[in-house]
Amino acid sequence: MTKVKVCAFSVSLDGYGAGPDQRKEQPLGKRGEELHEWIFPTKMFQKMYGKGEGTEGVDNDFADKSFENIGAWIMGRNMFGPIRGQWPDDEWKGWWGENPPYHVPVFVLTNHARKPISMKGGTTFHFVTDGIDSALDQARKAAGGKDIRIGGGVSTIRQFLLAGYIDEMHLAVAPVFLGSGENLFAGINLPELGFTEIQTEYGKATVHVILKKSSDLARKT
């Protein structure tokens, strides 16, 4: 059965999934890269971006797992690119070059319609203008029984969380404080939403926490 998952999503100790001032030259916002230091050296990341060998171990295992059995992705427009408002043309095709690391349909939430873009390696970007329910329906059909990964950013994950659509989350918590930016947890009560921590592992520059939602597991708060 298709699960809706957040995987390998990095946040700071004060709950920020990106720093302030996100823009083309700084896609993760100010100091946002510090959240992701755990993944850069891994074999998975190095293989994906074609730079040398990379490390094995806990971080690499989680990085690998985050791409396993994913049949479709959903992401917010800011994760897809820095352009705001109307698409000026068809130039921008994501941050990831000709062959993006998804290899499945990717549904991009936006207020501005655009034709799908087929990329090398099986990734197709579909632009969804009628909200998260529609994106989820389309992703479910496209996923063919595999899981759906909600990529990010923070605002997209918050929408899916609050709508009760997320079954499982793997958060990678970096031991830094960003102080401002986009906060994943503000006003969100994970136990009340039915989530329980089922696994914790320390990585090299992060704490991996797996949360699952289940009526059995749900704490009564």
Q: Where does this chain bind a second copy (CB under 8 A)?
A: 13-15, 20, 30-31, 171, 173, 175-180, 185-186, 188-193, 195, 197, 200, 202, 207, 209, 211, 219, 221
| Residue closer to a second copy (CB basis): 83 or 176 | 176
First vs last Cα of the chain: how many Å apart?
Answer: 28
Q: How far is the CB of 76 from a second copy (least distance, A)?
A: 22
DSSP-derived secondary structure for the chain: ---EEEEEEEEETTSEEE-SS-BTTBTT-TTGGGGGTTTTTBHHHHHHTT-S--B-SHHHHHHHHTTTTEEEEEEEHHHH-S--SS--SS----SS-SS-S--SEEEEE-SS----EE-GGG-EEEEE-SHHHHHHHHHHHHHTTSEEEEEE-HHHHHHHHHTT---EEEEEEES----SSEESSTT--TTTTTEEEEEEEE-SS-EEEEEEE-TTT----
On the 0-12 / 13-18 / 19+ scale of CB atoms within 10 A, 132 is: buried
| Residue closer to a second copy (CB basis): 107 or 195 | 195
Q: How far is the CB of 162 from a second copy (least distance, A)?
A: 13
Q: How far is the CB of 207 from a second copy (least distance, A)?
A: 6
β pairing state of 70-76 and 168-174: unpaired
Q: How far is the CB of 202 from a second copy (least distance, A)?
A: 5
Q: How far is the CB of 63 from a second copy (least distance, A)?
A: 19
Q: Quote the tokens at residue 53.
A: 């060998």
| Residue closer to a second copy (CB basis): 102 or 195 | 195
| Residue closer to a second copy (CB basis): 14 or 168 | 14
| Residue closer to a second copy (CB basis): 117 or 176 | 176
Q: How far is the CB of 208 from a second copy (least distance, A)?
A: 9
| Residue closer to a second copy (CB basis): 41 or 100 | 41
